[in-house]
Structures are given as structure tokens and as C-alpha cells.
Amino acid sequence: MLNALRMAVVAAALLSLTGPCAAFDAASVPDGKQTKLGLYLTAEEVPPFLAARGGHALFVDVRAPEELAATGVAASVDANAPLFLLSGGKMQPNPDFVATVTAKLTAKRLTKDDAVVVMCRTGRRSALAASLLAEFGFSHVYSVVDGFEGDGGGAPGLKGWKGAGLPLRQAGAAPPPD
């Protein structure tokens, strides 16, 4: 009983830090990074956000596999589901994106009503991904506004996952399984 009470207090404390939604002010999100659902996190908010949900969230990196191999991957990413694929030196839309995310949800025993966090390099593709998933019935998709590498030009002062020194798998490490 005492352990259950301690767990409840810890969970409440984590939720108070991250809130039931994102703590990032949606009004400060640049036009190119806004989403249909209006749910945003900074890279630094992602770890406590995921911890507060105790595994009931999916964290997806939407960058192309070549990008992950070159720059590294956030250690807590559940899956790589590229929004675009590199083909002939150009980025092409990935026709399997929504199906891949849906399969990852199912594998984790989650639904479209559970939290999905999407991250790209700077927050622009993740905004597109979040809006696309919303169109397919996902109701709690959060875009990481500063992405993996940060974007001072579009979100001043935000460092991104890498710049914030958050845990990562190094460049060249295997990306999360698809």
C-alpha cells in the first residue's frame, strides 16, 4: 500500500512538471511548425513526458534512416518511421508512414488515443507527421518543436535533443527496428 502511494505521488509530481498536455506555449510555435492538434513538446520535455506515461506512449523518429545513421538517435525512441525516404538524392513521401506508426502502436498495445511523440531534425517534418497522423484519427500526437538537432532560427533558445545533452545512440548505431 505504501509503495502504491509513493508511486502515485511520483506520477503526480511528473505530471505536474509536464502537465496533461505539452508545457511548451503553442502560441510561440512558428507557422512552419504548427500542427492540426496543437500539441508540442521541446526535446527536454520528452523524457519526463514519457516517464509520466509509464510506457503508454510511442516515441517515433520520422527522419530517414540515412539521417539516423549519420547523426545518432534519441536513446528512448521506440521506432523509426520515416515521413520521407531518400531516393535518387531526393526526399520522397513515404507511402507506408501511417501504416508503420499504426503497426508500432499495435505492437506496443496502444491505440490511436494514446500519446504519440514525433521528432525529426528541426521540428518541421515532425509537424507535418503530427498533422498527417491527426488526419488518420490519432488524437494525441505531440511534435518535438526543436527536433533532434535544434533550430535556433525557428525556435530561439531551444537546443534540440542533441544540444540538450539528452541520452542517445551514437551515429552509426543501428536505428530502432522498423
Distance CA 177, CA 156 (A): 33
- For the chain, list residues with pLDDT below 70: 1-24, 152-157, 170-178
Decide if 146 contacts 159 (C-beta within 8 A): yes
Query: According to the model, what pLDDT value does residue 20 have?
Result: 40
Please check whether residue 175 lies inside any domain of the structure: no
Query: According to the model, what pLDDT value does residue 37 have?
Result: 97
Number of domains in the chain: 1
Instruction: Give me the CATH number covering residue 160.
Output: 3.40.250.10
Query: According to the model, what pLDDT value does residue 122 have?
Result: 93
Please check whether residue 178 lies inside any domain of the structure: no
Please check whether residue 177 lies inside any domain of the structure: no
Range of the domain at 116: 2-169
pLDDT in tens, 114-162: 999 999 999 999 999 999 999 999 999 999 999 999 875 455 567 899 9
Query: According to the model, what pLDDT value does residue 89 have?
Result: 87
Please check whether residue 74 lies inside any domain of the structure: yes
Q: Going by C-beta distance under 8 Å and a sequence separation of 6 or more, which residues neighbour residue 24?
A: 40, 41, 42, 45, 145
Please check whether residue 176 lies inside any domain of the structure: no
Query: According to the model, what pLDDT value does residue 138 have?
Result: 98
Query: According to the model, what pLDDT value does residue 27 have?
Result: 83
